[in-house]
């Protein structure tokens, strides 16, 4: 008798759960289409992780049929906090600004969090977002607008590259001093389409090298204020992109290690030594958004440079 009653009871539970999920999906779709209330706490901190009072936080709410992409402004309190609220389709775009700081942008997407909508409010309704405002400290130089690569048809040989001149050193370019060297290998001949290549980078000078620095991707100023004299400067780096082929010789995937655009390379080069072999002076540079490849013209390298020409001046903050 008990077994006979358990079957309809289980069916009722399954139907109730299905109805709950269906209602949740319906609420989510309705919120995406017509908007729902969003509330989150934004905390603004500087590059030293200290709260920034009086920062302006502009929130733009996602356009929906009843939430037409309106913007609202909020100001942080003494703790760097501001409560942002409004009706939005599925996300809120944020921009933080204050005089003397580089602006930062970020976004909160409630749909990607997967917690749905409850009582007309996006969940979680107590979400906390931290945004970093980098201070303007001591800008030293304008970052050059480099949007082109430097090509070479030379493979299997080390080629010097001058960061200040943004070119290979003579006779392969107009550069005068090699801040680093690169060597290319690719699987083709000139005039053909290439499918894979290796690019090695090295710093043959004593004390020269580079290290990775994490970028603040939200900020208008993403990179390093200055080079560290105490960092471990790595001597070699290897990047590659090689095809993986099936039995028919067709390219089906790639085995690759490209430059991580969420990082930057801080470079020490042009080193001058004391008589006892210790480091007397050096120049410091920064390489961001480094890319490489191969095509009909041969191999190419491209990056965004900052070069400080003053010996032992570690400042890398551009105007």
Given this model, what pLDDT does residue 10 score? Answer: 45
Given this model, what pLDDT does residue 20 score? Answer: 41
Query: Residue ranges per domain, the chain?
Result: 31-133, 150-308
Helix (H, G, I), strand (E, B) or coil at 13: helix
Distance in angstroms between the alpha carbons of the first and the last residue of the chain: 83
Given this model, what pLDDT does residue 8 score? Answer: 52
Q: How far is CA 315 from CA 139, 227, 285, 310, in A?
A: 8, 7, 9, 9
- Residue 142: name the closest of 304, 311, 314, 312 by CA: 304
For domain 31-133, say whether CATH 3.40.91.50 is its number: no
Distance of CA 186 to the CA centre of its chain: 28
Q: What are residue 158's DSSP bridge partners?
A: none
Per-residue confidence in pLDDT tens, the chain, 319 aa: 443 444 455 444 444 443 444 445 788 888 888 899 999 999 999 999 999 999 999 999 998 877 778 899 999 999 999 999 999 999 999 999 999 999 999 999 999 888 899 999 999 988 999 999 999 999 986 777 787 899 998 999 999 999 999 999 999 999 999 999 999 998 766 555 667 789 999 999 999 999 999 999 999 999 999 999 999 999 999 998 877 888 887 878 877 778 899 999 999 999 999 999 999 999 999 999 999 988 777 889 999 999 999 999 999 998 8
Separation between Cα atoms, residue 188 and residue 81, nearest integer Å: 57
Neighbours of 244 (CB within 10 A): 12
- φ/ψ of residue 65, rounded to 5: -60, -35
Q: Which residue has the tokens 């949740």?
A: 24
Given this model, what pLDDT does residue 189 score? Answer: 60
| pTM, rounded to two decimals | 0.80
Given this model, what pLDDT does residue 264 score? Answer: 96
């Amino acid at each position: 008798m008990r077994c006979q009653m358990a079957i309809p009871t289980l069916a009722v539970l399954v139907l109730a759960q299905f109805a709950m999920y269906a209602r949740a999906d319906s609420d989510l779709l309705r919120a995406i289409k017509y908007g729902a209330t969003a509330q989150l706490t934004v905390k603004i901190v500087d590059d030293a992780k200290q709260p920034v009072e009086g920062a302006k936080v502009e929130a733009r709410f996602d356009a929906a049929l009843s939430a037409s992409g309106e913007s609202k402004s909020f100001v942080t309190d003494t703790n760097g906090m501001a409560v942002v609220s409004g009706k939005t389709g599925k996300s809120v775009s944020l921009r933080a600004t204050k005089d003397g700081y580089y602006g930062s942008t970020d976004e909160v997407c409630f749909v990607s969090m997967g917690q749905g909508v409850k009582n007309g409010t996006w969940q979680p309704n107590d979400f906390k977002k931290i945004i970093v405002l980098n201070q303007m400290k001591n800008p030293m130089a304008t970052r050059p607008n480099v949007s082109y690569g430097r090509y070479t048809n030379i493979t299997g040989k080390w080629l010097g590259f001058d960061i200040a001149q943004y070119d290979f050193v003579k006779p392969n370019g107009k550069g005068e001093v090699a801040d680093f060297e690169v060597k290319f290998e690719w699987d083709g001949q000139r005039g053909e389409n290439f499918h894979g290549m290796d690019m090695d980078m090295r710093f043959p000078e004593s004390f020269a090298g580079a290290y990775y620095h994490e970028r603040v991707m939200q900020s208008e100023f993403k990179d390093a204020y200055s080079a560290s004299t105490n960092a471990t400067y790595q001597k070699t780096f290897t990047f590659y992109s090689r095809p993986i082929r099936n039995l028919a010789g067709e390219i089906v995937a790639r085995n690759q290690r490209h430059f991580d655009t969420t990082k930057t390379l801080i470079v020490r080069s042009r080193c001058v030594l004391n008589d006892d072999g210790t480091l007397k002076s050096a120049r410091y540079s920064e390489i961001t958004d480094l890319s490489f490849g191969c095509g009909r013209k041969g191999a190419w390298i491209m990056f965004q440079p900052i070069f400080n020409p003053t010996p032992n001046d570690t400042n890398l903050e551009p105007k």
